[in-house]
Structure 1
Amino acid sequence: ILLWIASALTPQEIRDRILEVGSTFQQELVQYLESVHMGEFFDGKSMRDIALEVAERESVSKAAGSRYVPPTETLATPPPKRCTLHREQDCSIICFVCEKTSVWWASFRSTVNELLWRTNRHECGSHCLSNKHGTCKARYPREVRAETTVDPDTGYLNLKKGEAWMNTFSSVLTYILRSNTDVTSLLSGTAIKAVIAYVTDYVTKPQLQMHVLFETVRAVL
């Protein structure tokens, strides 16, 4: 989905503001992008941490005589209603609504972590190494960055990424779709034009000729 907001800043205007070192615009933009475009697990956990947690859940279910149902086989649980009295972070007294919300967010992070471990991690094999160079066609492992940096010459944002063997994603989309997703932030006019060209080419692709279609059906059946 490609979104363009009416009356929004142009890519050049955004670039100029990003290059203002220490500006509020730069800080808030980075904060927003890091919240919707992630490349690591929640709570600073590693691939091994999540693997151990999943193994523990499966072990507990097995000991109880039941089958562990992974989040890929369940539907997303909607969040509880928000507290109308105060914000959760401002709650200084015991508040049932805030506590319920806090528990939901903890479950959200745990569920997203497991979904990522099950669906978004890459393992090289014949499917991606079958080329004359013997390199991964999916470009793994990816570059890891401890924090988001700004190129002082171009204004390009190199977003933080903590996992080399996992593509970038949006945690909300992962939680809702319960499957592999690949979310990329279009940080330049060139990238935007490339995506527009790709999508246009894809949706205008001519239909298969009828004899090719029937031949395919016959081969499958």
Structure 2
Amino acid sequence: MVDLFIKHVLGVGLDRPGLYGQTSGYYGTVEQQGRLTLHMHMLIWIKNSLTPQEIRDKIMDPNSDFQKAMVEYLESVHMGEFMTGSMESVKQNIAEEDHKNPSRVPPTETLPEPPPKKCDHSTKSDCDQCQKHISWWIRFKRTLDEILYLSNRHTCCTDKNGNCKARFPRETHPETVVDPSTGALIMKKGEAWINTITPAVTYLMCGNTDVTSLLSGTAIKSVIAYVADYITKTPLKTHVMFQSIQQVFER
């Protein structure tokens, strides 16, 4: 799956850009949790991308269209809310679907539905293929929201002081804005209890994903240190591994 992600989503080894642009480099490491589930932490470098300082300088230029283009790009691959409504409305939609079909399988346990072939003309109401494509997009949004609700919604785990260990809830922002004093981009985020994601990636993976754009030198250093920590982490001890396996079979 990792090889497929690198090839088809990042576009590595292909004669076309990946989902985020042309990938110039990547590095990932797989973490094994105590319950033996695996997940990957990956850094991606985009070809011809600017440094955080260069981005700041261009964003602060009042005569440049860069700010608008940058925001449009980031919002196209980086979102922190549901696509069809609030968390409560998504919860209600899922409950209604379960009531209609109690035996249905949730999208986190199935493969994603591929899109139909798109027509080579503008959308027409009398074109069957166009209508199939519109219907698929509606299902895509509802499916994505259900995946987010089932796998990305944070259930709080607190420390001894009552603080969330994962630093939830997160700040929300109704729209993407630029701090005029620092040039920092404050990204649009509608839900406090989910991380930011790329819709296409979450839909393809049918499970929990987390995508963040590193827009400052501090963020870049922090994430590199975070990934490096997993690279050098001591492997799971044998007795802990067998204890985890035993717990799985006892459930």
How would you bin the TM-score normalised by the shorter chain?
Answer: 0.7 to 0.9
Query: For residue 166 of structure 1, what is the aligned residue in structure 2?
Result: 194
Q: 1:34 aligns with which of 75, 98, 104?
A: 75
Alignment of 1:74 with 2:110, yes or no, is yes
Deviations 1:69-105 (A, max 9, x none): 1111110011122222x2xxx3345222222211111
Scaled by the length of structure 2, the TM-score of the pair is: 0.74
Percent identical pairs in the alignment equals 52
CA 1:202/1:53 → structure 2, altered by over 3 Å: closer, same or farther?
Answer: same
User: AA paired with 1:189?
Assistant: G
Larger Rg: 1
SS for the counterpart of 1:4 is strand
Equivalent pairs counted in the alignment come to 204
Deviations 1:29-85 (A, max 9, x none): 111111211111113x111111111111111114xxxx121111110011122222x
User: Which protein has the bigger helix share?
Assistant: 1
CA 1:22/1:180 → structure 2, altered by over 3 Å: closer, same or farther?
Answer: farther
Unaligned ranges ≥5, structure 2: 1-41, 247-251
SS for the counterpart of 1:129 is coil
Q: CA deviation at 1:193?
A: 2.0
| Residues 107 and 146 in structure 2, CA contact (< 8 A), matched pair in contact too | yes
Query: For residue 92 of structure 2, what is the aligned residue in structure 1?
Result: 52
Between 1 and 2, higher relative CO (CA 8 Å, sep ≥ 6) is seen in 1
Query: For residue 141 of structure 1, what is the aligned residue in structure 2?
Result: 169
User: Which protein has the bigger strand share?
Assistant: 2
In 2: Cα distance, 1:179 partner to 1:215 partner: 29
Q: 1:106 aligns with which of 113, 131, 138?
A: 138
Alignment of 1:15 with 2:56, yes or no, is yes
User: AA paired with 2:72?
Assistant: Q
In 1: Cα distance, 2:242 partner to 2:146 partner: 40
Scaled by the length of structure 1, the TM-score of the pair is: 0.83
